[in-house]
Amino acid sequence: MPVMDQTVITAPPRTRKPRGQGASRRAEILEAAKHLFLEEGFQHATMRRIASIVGVSPTAIYLHFADKEAILAAIAEDFFAEVLAVLEVATAGDAPPLARLQTGLRAYVEFSLMRPDEYRLTFQAWATRGVSATYVKPEVADKSFHILEDSVIQLIEAGLFIKGDPLIISEAIVCSLHGLTSALLDMPKKLQSEPPALIDAVIRMTVDGFAVNKLPI
């Protein structure tokens, strides 16, 4: 009589991930959501789908975020927290105020180009109808803007910028940089200029538009 095989067949390991490491799990959720928002669109993404990519239950993901709007807000907040740190470093020191402003603007654009996914989600997804009307802009975003606005105020008071509303001037500068950054990210093949040279040219044009005297060549 043949002897039956006594090998024990074990079940394959579960794909769902164990609990723990709240910070790392949050990072995994944000990373999965970023890719899903960009690939399928924010409106079509679901919390269940994000949970599936991360490998957690649909219930577990709600321990970290109330909804996908909260995830988008966290992505934007993390992005602006990094932007704030970059701007604080770039605008520190004893350089002349105009030079510090130019350095800060250049650092902002260069950093945004290094974080294309976060940049697109932060600025472009806000404009979609899928974002809740209750969305609140991250506080760190305001802090980043205030660095620019404070620089503009100092330049006006020093007689280096034309007299005007600092808010309007600051928002005009932001719009200029946003257009530049979006063009470099989304239509690079249509631009023949080298990115560093184009960044310098746009910043010079923007600053010159408000400067009492043209910047030296």
Q: Is 199 exposed, middle or buried (0-12, 13-18, 19+ CB in 10 A)?
A: buried
Collapsing DSSP to helix, strand or coil, 107 comes out as: helix
* Higher local confidence (pLDDT), 138 or 97: 97
pLDDT value at residue 42: 87
- In the predicted model, what is the mean pLDDT of residues 197-208? 95
Q: Taking each helix axis as running N to C, give the angle between helix 47-54 and helix 22-40, from 0 to 180 degrees, rounded to the nearest 10.
A: 120
Largest CA distance in the chain: 103
Q: pLDDT of 141-159, one tens digit each?
A: 889 999 999 999 999 999 9
pLDDT value at residue 11: 34
> What are 68's two structure tokens?
């996908």
Q: How far apart are CA 169 and CA 211, in angstroms?
A: 11
Q: pLDDT of 6-15, one tens digit each?
A: 433 333 343 4
Amino acid, res. 85: A
Model confidence at 217: pLDDT above 60: no
Residue entry with tokens 């808010």: 167
> What are 162's two structure tokens?
């034309």
Amino acid, res. 47: M
Q: How far apart are CA 104 and CA 179, in angstroms?
A: 17
pLDDT value at residue 206: 94
Collapsing DSSP to helix, strand or coil, 11 comes out as: coil
Cβ of 77: how many Cβ atoms within 10 Å?
A: 16
Model confidence at 1: pLDDT above 80: no
> What are 89's two structure tokens?
């470093």
Cβ of 26: how many Cβ atoms within 10 Å?
A: 16
Domains and CATH numbers, the chain: 16-65 (1.10.10.60), 67-208 (1.10.357.10)
- In the predicted model, what is the mean pLDDT of residues 148-172? 95
